[in-house]
Amino acid sequence: MSYDVIVVGGGNAALCAALSASESVKKVLVLERAPEDEAGGNSRFTAGLFRLAYRGPEDLKTLIPDLSEQEIANTDFGTYTEEQFLDDMARVTEYRCDPDLTEVLVKNSLPTVRWMRERGVRFTAAWGRQAFKIGGKFKFWGGLTVEAVGGGPGLVESLTQIAKKAGIEILYGARALSLVADDSGVHGVVVKHQGKTKTLSSKSVVLAAGGFQANTEWRTRYMGPGWELAKVRGTRFNTGDAIRMALDIGAAAHGNWSGCHAVAWDRNAPETGDLAVGDGFQKHSYPWGVYINADGKRFVDEGADFRNYTYAKYGRVILSQPKQFAWQIFDAKVKAQLRDEYRIKQVTRVTGNTLEELVAKLDDTDQAAALKELKEYNAAVQTQIPFNPNVKDGRCTTNLRINKSNWANTLDTPPFEAYAVTCGITFSFGGLKINPQGQVVNSDGGLIPGLYAAGELVGGIFWFNYPGGSGLTNGAVFGRIAGASAAAAATGR
Ligand SMILES: Cc1cc2nc3c(=O)[nH]c(=O)nc-3n(C[C@H](O)[C@H](O)[C@H](O)COP(=O)(O)OP(=O)(O)OC[C@H]3O[C@@H](n4cnc5c(N)ncnc54)[C@H](O)[C@@H]3O)c2cc1C
């Protein structure tokens, strides 16, 4: 069996790569390790949020043609310029993000999502998660405005249907094992499908099989002691196979191998993601409350920045707390503002009508220390500064060991609630090195003919932290580029 392009993986990056390749070549095959009912990788677990640069509602209308004049009048979409996106990437990655790849990511963010729209993927504005209504008008904050209709499941379903209509073959339950390669480059993939190992040949290969976060042994080996204790938020199938396959034939290892995207995740969530709950185990409303650890102490500035710029690094902070967990504590004043994930059935929550009553229910925790800490926090809030969730309001605490910089509300209105969270890992940051055309670089600095990569398994783009909604954009932008490059190479080989 011979193909023009074989794509390894079945998520957003892989399907975008396959679609893009199919615009120039006929025989495109997608190998998806998961069975069909679990297919779609981490992409399927997402809310479908895409970070992209836009100049205002006129750009958004090209992605969301049914955005009405009334919706535009009732919403302050603001702008999110390429400069802001570049600045956010540089700032949150502590200026380590690869400048060439980051520029490609940012400059292609809007055109790529527009291409997806033209191919048939539908988008809407993320009013529910990324905007607050104040004075009768929604205002978007944090550079994240667009989501796929139907979230991650809608995105994967839509891309899959479009791919099938384009004549792309998708093989489910097909685990790529190794690359067929010689001195002249890559010529195919060895795959195990329905218990049988076969060799499939192709003119080029795109690797888009996700990171290694679901591989407990690699996680501990590369991220360090304690990472075997993290929960995996998404698919159980991203165990680093494609990274290993490429390293085996001489690809360079690149990027932040000890780093990852990791968030606050329900303490009693299952070890790997549950598609029925999706991203519902996450608990992202901590900027409106306070964190307390098992020693009864606050340990992080919950209001350091908008949630989009802190949530992906705070999972690691929670993992490093005693017993690897923490409580998020809120009072009734912010209840209406808590995200929908706080209202799911599978939540680890205790409530109390006084702080004393609440604290008495905090299992595994130094309750006396917790009560003292909460009272000291309450006394330190600068209540003369008005609270405003749409801006970094500067409503802070003063003179605490760890201050809260914004959105500091006193905990004074019952009922009080506490949610137990641990660390949920989203994806690993280390992986392969690619050039701006999506071609894989070898450990001598040369290019591997016929081998391309995109998505989570590419290293060098995200370090330490990540601006929310960049993962899908990253997969789509580099998936599209890698697919086109792989197809061009296939026609020239
Ligand atoms: C709960 C959750 C919520 C998230 N929310 C968002 C969000 O709203 N916005 C955003 O931008 N990002 C979000 N992310 C991050 C985002 O999911 C990823 O950055 C992105 O989906 C990665 O896309 P990908 O195609 O590279 O990988 P994936 O979508 O994970 O796809 C990898 C694919 O490779 C397959 N595979 C693995 N090994 C093999 C093998 N040996 N052979 C064949 N196939 C293989 C897997 O089965 C899978 O289909 C979220 C992640 C999670 C877990």
Q: Residue 419: name the closest of 484, 312, 357, 329 by CA.
A: 329
What mean pLDDT comes out for the span 23-41? 98
89 close to 103: Cβ distance less than 8 angstroms: no
Indicate which atom in ligand 1 lies nearest the CA of residue 470: 11
What mean pLDDT comes out for the span 437-443? 98
Q: Is the CB of 18 under 6 A from ligand 1?
A: no
Burial class from Cβ neighbours inside 10 Å (0-12, 13-18, 19+) for residue 217 reads exposed
pLDDT of residue 129: 75
What mean pLDDT comes out for the span 182-192? 97
User: How many residues are recorded in the chain?
Assistant: 493
Burial class from Cβ neighbours inside 10 Å (0-12, 13-18, 19+) for residue 445 reads exposed
* Confidence bin at 139 (pLDDT 50/70/90): confident
Helices (H), 170-297: 216-223, 241-248
Q: Is the CB of 25 under 6 A from ligand 1?
A: no
Evaluate the omega torsion of the peptide bond into residue 270 and state whether it is cis, within 30 degrees of 0: no
pLDDT of residue 493: 64
- pLDDT > 70: percent of the chain: 100
pLDDT of residue 471: 98
Q: Is the CB of 325 under 6 A from ligand 1?
A: no
* Confidence bin at 128 (pLDDT 50/70/90): confident
pLDDT of residue 180: 98
- The per-residue pLDDT for range 53-63, each reduced to its tens digit, is 999 999 999 99
> Could you give the CA distance from residue 201 to residue 263 in angstroms, rounded to a whole number?
40
Q: Residue 463: name the closest of 313, 253, 282 by CA.
A: 313
pLDDT of residue 260: 98
Helices (H) then strands (E): counts for the chain: 14, 22
Q: Residue 288: name the closest of 324, 252, 342 by CA.
A: 342
* Confidence bin at 36 (pLDDT 50/70/90): very high
- What is the CB neighbour count within 10 angstroms for residue 175? 18
User: Which pair of tokens denotes residue 408?
Assistant: 């500091």
- Angle formed at CA 426 by CA 149 and CA 106, multiple of 5 degrees: 60
Which residues make beta-bridge pairs with 5?
A: 28, 204
423 close to 230: Cβ distance less than 8 angstroms: yes
- pLDDT > 90: percent of the chain: 94
What mean pLDDT comes out for the span 185-212? 98
pLDDT of residue 137: 85
> Strand runs (DSSP E) across 236-319, as ranges?
253-254, 260-266, 290-293
SS3 306: coil
Q: Report which protein residue has its CA nearest ligand 1's atom 12.
A: 471
Q: Residue 231: name the closest of 291, 170, 283 by CA.
A: 283
- The per-residue pLDDT for range 377-387, each reduced to its tens digit, is 999 999 999 99
> Could you give the CA distance from residue 471 to residue 456 in angstroms, rounded to a whole number?
7
Q: Is the CB of 237 under 6 A from ligand 1?
A: yes
109 close to 83: Cβ distance less than 8 angstroms: no
Distance 14 CA to ligand 1 centre (A): 9
Cα–chain center distance at 219: 17
- The per-residue pLDDT for range 309-355, each reduced to its tens digit, is 999 999 999 999 999 999 999 999 999 999 999 999 999 999 999 99
SS3 243: helix
What phi, psi does 175 have (nearest 5°)? -95, 115
- The per-residue pLDDT for range 199-240, each reduced to its tens digit, is 999 999 999 999 999 999 999 999 999 999 999 999 999 999
What phi, psi does 273 have (nearest 5°)? -60, 155
> Could you give the CA distance from residue 165 to residue 14 in angstroms, rounded to a whole number?
16
CA-to-CA separations, 379 to 41, 329, 370, in angstroms, rounded: 46, 16, 14
Q: Is the CB of 10 under 6 A from ligand 1?
A: yes
- The per-residue pLDDT for range 387-417, each reduced to its tens digit, is 998 899 999 999 999 999 999 999 999 999 9
pLDDT at 1 over 80: no
Q: Is the CB of 472 under 6 A from ligand 1?
A: yes
pLDDT at 368 over 90: yes
44 close to 10: Cβ distance less than 8 angstroms: no
